[in-house]
Structure 1
Amino acid sequence: MRFSLSLIALVAACPSWADTIPVLTKVTEVTMHPDSAAVSRIASVQVPAGKHRLVFQGVPNSAHEQSLRIDLTGARQVGTIFRNEYTPPRDTSSPEVDAAKARLEDIKERIQSVRDDADRVRLAANAADVSLGFLKQLGENEGLADASPETLRQIAQMIQGEAMTASVTALDARIAARRVETRLKELNEELADADQALAALDLEDDDRLYIAVEIDAAAAGEVQVDLSYLVFGGTEWVPVYDLNLTTGDTPRLDIQRDAFVSQNTGENWSDVTLRLSTTEAIGATDPSYLDTTQRYIVDPQQPVRKAASSALLADSYAGAPEPSVEALVTANEETPIWSKVNGPGVTYTYHEKVSVASGADVLRLELDSLSENVTVTAHAVPLRDVTAFRMASLTNTSGEEWLSSPYAARYVDGFLVGDDSFQGLAPGQETHIGFGPIDGLRLTRDILNRNQGDRGILSKSNQKAEQVEIKIENLTGRTWPMQVVDRVPFSEQEDLEISWTAVPRPSEENWENRRGILAWSWEIKPGEIRKIKLNTSINWPDGMVLR
């Protein structure tokens, strides 16, 4: 719950303070958690002896007030005030932003100067227009009616000459004004570029918290300020992997581990010490509450009670694995980029200073790389695919935990074949990673015969039989160790009888502890065709319906 005013100490009871001193703080350290970020700021200020109010400037509104912690060195902290309403606007900016604003104002002034020059040139055109108007009125003057022909001729010649001169003057002035204004196009383009450059720099929110600390300094001197708080939301870090499979006689998997970092806190981070932590700063602190489970039986002819179905549904999820927090691995010891600290979870400190603009930058930080020996096989699922897929099997021998990630680009001998997620890997754990289709290993699965009564799948016929032929053809120029998986139905009811036969017999039944999944393992040579005949038969009592 956010609030507008909080007094850590009873400030109102204290005597009036000598003066108010503004203090500009700067972000120096950030520890990013999966759900939040811990931000540390520091500042130093010279104060005279006595009581003062230090007003911290620059703290964005994204800071969580209840998590604010302030430590002072050089003075005694009497009380703290902070609020997020009725706060003064942000009055500080970086030198880069100030320079961009100054450039913008300079271009605006140059544009106005060009417009003034154009208007100045047009004054000659306006004056010539006035002269033409006067000459026209002069030619229409009634007082010329009594003039002699010679006088009229001279007046006409004079008006004609002056009118020509005024017209040329007006035309020349307008042409000159247009030439002056051609400079506006270039200036407007420069103005747009400057405005875009300022927008790219000035990404911080104007909203700031008001934070003030009442202090009592025994003597004049320097006061060191350490300010820390949490930001909930608006920050994110995730691992990212490049998985490069090198094929050949000794296949190898090279794993490049990086991290994506972004933030939208309303404040740019400039040259900060960055830490990445696997702990959740606002995660659960107590174990979950476990409800009791009541089981009972019901008459099948009666409607199922909602309470029973809810209990069964809850129980069906009881065995689901809990999500785990995984630790990011450390950098190579020879050229360390990160240092690792163990505690509740794992925290890694980046050795270089980092800058991340608010709401704009997505920073990719290089962590390290590992290599693992792998076994490459072809994996085929004819029921779903028309080609086999290349799979790399490996065991994590690094002794380190590998974080799960939604970003894991897959390469084969340096060529990108896809981008998928990575589930993570514990030390000593084995996994299988896919690296795209093998177009030369073609798969077909044909139903040769299907017999199931004459009323369709929802009929009361009590028998179903199916004959399937699976064919694998190797059109590549190499021998592939291969695994083919397919399925047969299974039942947990005595009255539902299922039988099956396969030629050749599968190498493994209930593959990976999945009932009804069959697996065949073999090598297939170049140009070779392998076939599997799979027959299934299902029988059930009359009057029952197969689902």
Structure 2
Amino acid sequence: MRNPILAIALLALQPAYAETIAVSSRVTEVTMHPDSAAILRRAEVSLPAGRHRLVLQGVPASAVSESLRVEVEGARQTGTLLRQDRVPPRDADTPEIDAARQRIEEIEDRIRGVEDDARRARLAGSAAEASLTFLRGLGENEGLAEAGPDTLRDIARMIRDEAGAAGAAALDAEIAARRIEDQLSDLRDELKAAQQALAALTVEDEDRLFIAIEVDAPEAADATVTLRYLVRGATYWTPAYDLRLATGDAPSLTLERSALVRQTTGENWTDVALHLSTLAPVGRAEPNALLPLRLRIGPPEAPVRQSRSQPESDGLASLVAPALEAPAPPPPLWKVAEGPGVTYSYAVPVSIASSADLLRLRLDSLSQPAQERALAVPFHDQTAFHMARVEDGWGEELLPSQYAARYVDGVLVGTSGFPGLAAGQEAEFGFGPIDGLRIKRDVLDQSEGDRGLINRSSERNERVEIEVENLTGRDWPLRVLDRVPYSEQEDLEIWWTASPRPDEDDVDKQRGILAWDFDLGTGDTRTIRIDTTLTWPEGMVLR
């Protein structure tokens, strides 16, 4: 027999709730991170005095349960129950969904009505067909053989008239039925559109969490329930740019900033306050541990040949455990706050359907005077490219993006990535090839052989000629880039000359990269020659 004292004790532990109240909540604010999103949702509820259980509806199963935090204002919160399995069925249809379903039912009723009208019309045709069958049988009746000529004449006339009327009635009935059925095509198209409209509204997942909040209200009050949680891997955002170059007497470069946003959390976001952040709250919060490094010495061992799949040793670095690197966050756009990381906001409420919408949010635009020029790399290209340079950047940090469309005077000329810029950093961007700036790069002479009688060595000579021609109908400031080899070995000696002499050596600290800057007028042609000589000892191979 069950222990009565234990039973009373267990009964005393059961909460005495005045009632269980279902509470509808909605997402009001979202902060999207590179690999997650922080969701804030609110609910309003009127509570009578007493203890109650508030069942918070609508939280999708994508929520990370460990991150759930519940706050109640207007009543004392005593506990929270979370259930992920065996959740009661969800009933959260919106008025829009109800209206869409009613629309489908209305169209289906109209289709059934048209089909009934068509069947009713064909019934009249069936009756006419039955009359025709009877009249045919009457004309074949053997009893008419004894009838007189006048009687037969009257019967034949009657059969002819009645059969004609019955046939016309059957034909009219079929025509009427087909005309009625013609309405079905439009109705079925209308039904398909209504079903598609409903499908666009019902993109949310059915799986939901069961969250019950135990509260105690000393007196009747209006309470506010706030729920915060993370979703992992169900949100995505990245910056996007449009670079617009305006040419003319005063060229300018305008950068239009946007954000591409998508979410697959399982519920639609409607009129939420949206923030974009560089923080990664579900990533590592602490650095990797640095392990002690112990070295030993001993007799040499036979070398072990590594397979091709094994990486080669990198000195002492191979003795240290490799670090786990946090994923690089995709960059945000519109800065509103700094602290740990950077947070950006959108100025108006945003609505995004789950697994359906890819939203491009237009933010702002920045403009600066630009300097145009042509850039030629004859080693790779046969035309020069249209470039625009902004000397002082745009005065604030701009983060990298894979999406940066390029426009010249409103015409799209290409798309490319955006490298990101620090505040005040000089920037230069390409805006497509200039077909009228023709480039030729020819190797006129190339020889390699041995020289010398006593100290034998090897030698290579090369002459390169670059020709640039302007057929565009306008003058261009032009930069030409080419290269000569360089060496870090004393035995490999390299000499080179160029005519004309380059305006810059080792461009951007890259050894051997040369640059010529000049203005190329309409119809003009310029030629650059580069002579290179390399020597190295006999028996060595040039690589």
Same fold (TM over 0.5): yes
Greater shift, 304-313 or 210-219, is seen at 304-313
- Cα distance in 1 for residues equivalent to 2:169 and 2:204: 54
| TM-score in terms of structure 2 length | 0.85
- Residues 365, 526 of structure 1: alpha-carbon distance in 2 compared, 3 angstrom cutoff: same
| TM-score in terms of structure 1 length | 0.84
1:216 partner SS: strand
2:131 partner SS: helix
CA contact (8 A) 1:447 1:469 kept: yes
| Aligned residue number for residue 328 of structure 1 | 333
- Cα distance in 1 for residues equivalent to 2:86 and 2:287: 41
- Cα distance in 2 for residues equivalent to 1:302 and 1:496: 32
Alignment of structure 1 residues 460-471 onto 2, 5 Å: 462-471=458-467
Does residue 311 of structure 1 match 2:323? no
- Cα distance in 1 for residues equivalent to 2:394 and 2:473: 34
| Aligned residue number for residue 123 of structure 2 | 123
> Cα offset for 1:352?
1.6
CA contact (8 A) 2:241 2:405 kept: yes
| Aligned residue number for residue 56 of structure 1 | 56
| Aligned residue number for residue 400 of structure 1 | 396
Does residue 450 of structure 1 match 2:451? no
| Aligned residue number for residue 39 of structure 2 | 39
Matched to 2:501, the amino acid is R
What whole-Å deviation, never above 9, does each CA across 1:146-197 have from its counterpart, x for those lacking one? 6666655555544444433333322222221112111112211221222222
Alignment of structure 1 residues 122-521 onto 2, 5 Å: 122-141=122-141, 154-289=154-289, 305=306, 309-311=312-314, 328-330=333-335, 340-396=336-392, 398-452=394-448, 462-521=458-517
Matched to 2:359, the amino acid is L
> Cα offset for 1:145?
6.0
CA contact (8 A) 1:278 1:328 kept: no
- Residues 527, 313 of structure 1: alpha-carbon distance in 2 compared, 3 angstrom cutoff: farther
Gaps in structure 2 of 5+ consecutive residues:
1-9, 451-456
> Cα offset for 1:11?
13
| Aligned residue number for residue 99 of structure 2 | 99
- Residues 310, 154 of structure 1: alpha-carbon distance in 2 compared, 3 angstrom cutoff: farther
- Cα distance in 2 for residues equivalent to 1:254 and 1:527: 31
- Cα distance in 1 for residues equivalent to 2:203 and 2:296: 59
CA contact (8 A) 2:238 2:331 kept: no
- Residues 489, 312 of structure 1: alpha-carbon distance in 2 compared, 3 angstrom cutoff: farther
What whole-Å deviation, never above 9, does each CA across 1:365-385 have from its counterpart, x for those lacking one? 222222223333322111011
- Cα distance in 2 for residues equivalent to 1:324 and 1:236: 11
> Cα offset for 1:43?
0.9
- Residues 294, 100 of structure 1: alpha-carbon distance in 2 compared, 3 angstrom cutoff: farther
- Cα distance in 1 for residues equivalent to 2:77 and 2:11: 11
- Residues 541, 103 of structure 1: alpha-carbon distance in 2 compared, 3 angstrom cutoff: same
- Cα distance in 2 for residues equivalent to 1:30 and 1:22: 24
- Residues 452, 83 of structure 1: alpha-carbon distance in 2 compared, 3 angstrom cutoff: farther
CA contact (8 A) 1:293 1:311 kept: no
> Cα offset for 1:274?
1.4
What whole-Å deviation, never above 9, does each CA across 1:62-95 have from its counterpart, x for those lacking one? 2222222111122232332333333344422222
2:163 partner SS: helix
- Cα distance in 2 for residues equivalent to 1:12 and 1:275: 47
1:182 partner SS: helix
What's the C-alpha RMSD, in Å, of the aligned pairs? Answer: 3.4
Greater shift, 245-254 or 217-226, is seen at 245-254
- Residues 30, 327 of structure 1: alpha-carbon distance in 2 compared, 3 angstrom cutoff: closer
Greater shift, 180-189 or 346-355, is seen at 346-355
What whole-Å deviation, never above 9, does each CA across 1:33-66 have from its counterpart, x for those lacking one? 2222211111111233333322222222222222
Matched to 1:23, the amino acid is V
- Cα distance in 1 for residues equivalent to 2:64 and 2:111: 45
- Residues 478, 161 of structure 1: alpha-carbon distance in 2 compared, 3 angstrom cutoff: closer
- Cα distance in 2 for residues equivalent to 1:172 and 1:308: 88
| Aligned residue number for residue 458 of structure 1 | none
Gaps in structure 1 of 5+ consecutive residues:
1-9, 331-339, 455-460
1:62 partner SS: coil
> Cα offset for 1:450?
1.7
How many residues align? The count is 517
Q: Percent sequence identity over matched residues?
A: 55
Matched to 1:253, the amino acid is L
